[in-house]
Amino acid sequence: DIQMTQSPSSLSASVGDRVTITCRASQGISNYLAWYQQKPGKVPELLIYAASTLQTGAASRFSGSGSGTDFTLTISSLQPEDFATYYCQQYDSDPITFGPGTKVDVK
Amino acid sequence: EEQLVGSGGGLVQPGGSLRLSCAVSGFPFSSRSMNWVRQAPGEGLEWVSYISSSSSVTYYADSVRGRFTISRDNSKKSLYLQMNNLRAEDTAVYFCARGGAIADRAMPTWGQGTLVIVSS
């Protein structure tokens, strides 16, 4: 199985900050990577797929990059509604696996 | 508007069975793959199972293979998860989620989740 790791596991930031979250796969997954946002008690929402393609409806301040084993999610200017947990997901091969999540909270 | 409505969760004893359902509307169900993903209380996301649009392909996580069965009825626009021999570690909120139109294994739309508690 492909293991996904994320760093940091949590971070504290302020509105307006640029935030970067890293996701690493245990083996190459090309660009078969997605990013999700989940707020407490809510359903996960797809932000990015194919490593860098913004999902329709997702805010343009979210961007993704990377290929192979190393990926990043960047929030260009953190907004109040962005405080949440972010998960990466590989879909290169089964079983699909998620990263453990990165919690972004208020500094 | 796309809607996925999960149901069928509840309290069940270890070794028992449950059948989850997910009723969908607002998108061409018969043309989209579907997944079940679960989240234990306070934990992260765990993919459980996948079924292709025609039901010809199914995949399972190692943790549920042989105990859970995914199925769908395209005429009823419904997805199912038959869960047998349940264990305490199966306790979680179970989400149904559809596959993407372009990236089939990314999941753009999720149901609200149904809670399964396995306890004596």
Convert the pLDDT of each residue in B38-84 to its tens digit. Answer: 999 999 999 999 999 999 999 999 999 999 999 999 999 999 999 99
Q: Nearest C-alpha of chain A: how many angstroms from B4?
A: 11
| pLDDT the model gives residue A87 | 98
Alpha carbon B116 to its chain's center: 12
Categorise residue B8: left if φ over 0, alpha if ψ from -120 to 50, beta otherwise.
left
CB contacts, 8 Å: B60 with chain A: 95
Q: What is the mean pLDDT of chain B?
A: 97
| CB atoms B47 and A96 under 8 Å | yes
Judged on CB neighbours under 10 Å (0-12, 13-18, 19+), A16 is exposed
| CB atoms B62 and A101 under 8 Å | no
| pLDDT the model gives residue B97 | 98
| pLDDT the model gives residue B102 | 87
Separation in Å, CA B94 to CA A25, B8, B43, B63: 25, 10, 13, 14
Question: pLDDT tens across A15-61, in order?
Answer: 999 999 999 999 999 999 999 999 999 999 999 999 999 999 999 99
**pLDDT range class, residue B101, cuts 50, 70, 90:** confident
